[in-house]
Amino acid sequence: MLTAITRDVNTGMGNCELTFMPRVGIDIGLASQQHQQYQSVLSSLGCDVVTAPTVSGLADSVFIEDTALVLDELAVLCRPGAESRRAEVTGVRNILQRYRKLESIQPPGTLDGGDLLRVGNVIVAGLSTRSNKSGIDQLRGIVADYGFSVQTITTTKCLHLKSAVSEVAPGLLLINPDWISLSAFGNFELIDIDDEEPYAANALRVGTRVIYPSSFPRTMEKLVQRGIDVTPIDVSELQKAEGAVTCCSLIFSSQ
């Protein structure tokens, strides 16, 4: 059984943190409907969906991935790079402690879950505007005893590492080569996104299926041609907040 921790859209999402995208109006009602559909898809794919409490004023809190990295052996609570987001971790901690031993990133470290891509026993960590060297070094020390290695790669053209690369099948990565160096991915098979869809590299693998934004049909066709079982979903309003499909859940084995 898989567990998926999610958090409902905050009514203040229009005041979200933005780094690489211009601020545009967000239809909160539509964003909530899209997120509810996202939760329904997770459930249909076999996940037990657990909803963390929504706290007033935490505009970005629907993007729950940034609060933690969940491994089979433990969960690492992150320390988001945006100060306005650090209070998001508390509600997630209260849920995760039911399932995992917990470790935490401490100051001066910052670490967003969206900068962490686990592929097998390798964790690729993005050094970004949200995740710093101290945070990544702390993570490396925490997970080393559990057989994981951490590779650092610098991201400069996008918010998070997973904006530029995500796993769509075991050892198979979807990537935007214009946004990220290929140097950390020599041991993996890669699918390039379509050149006309620069934001298309974020996909959410759930077992043998992949949840994918319907707004990137050219790249979606590439995935289908490679035999990936794709479930398309409309997340247009969440994308306006610099969000994507991996951002909105923490998925792990309930053991």
**Rounded Cα–Cα distance for residues 238 and 189 (Å):** 29
Q: Please, which residues have CB within 8 angstroms of residue 156's CB and are 6 or more apart in sequence?
A: 128
For the chain, how long is the longest CA-to-CA vector?
46
CATH fold label, 2-253: L-arginine/glycine Amidinotransferase; Chain A (3.75.10)
Task: Given the residues 47, 158, 160, 248, select the one marked as catalytic.
Answer: 160
Domain parsing of the chain, residue ranges? 2-253
The pTM score is: 0.96
Per-residue pLDDT tens digits for 206-248: 999 999 999 999 999 999 999 999 999 999 999 999 999 999 9
Task: Given the residues 16, 78, 158, 247, select the one marked as catalytic.
Answer: 247
- Cβ–Cβ under 8 Å, residues 150 and 136: yes
Percentage of the chain beyond pLDDT 90 is 97
Task: Determine the 3-state secondary structure of 138 from DSSP.
Answer: helix
- Give the model's pLDDT for residue 255: 65
Where the chain has pLDDT below 70, the residues are: 255
Establish whether 35 is a catalytic residue: no
- Give the model's pLDDT for residue 111: 98
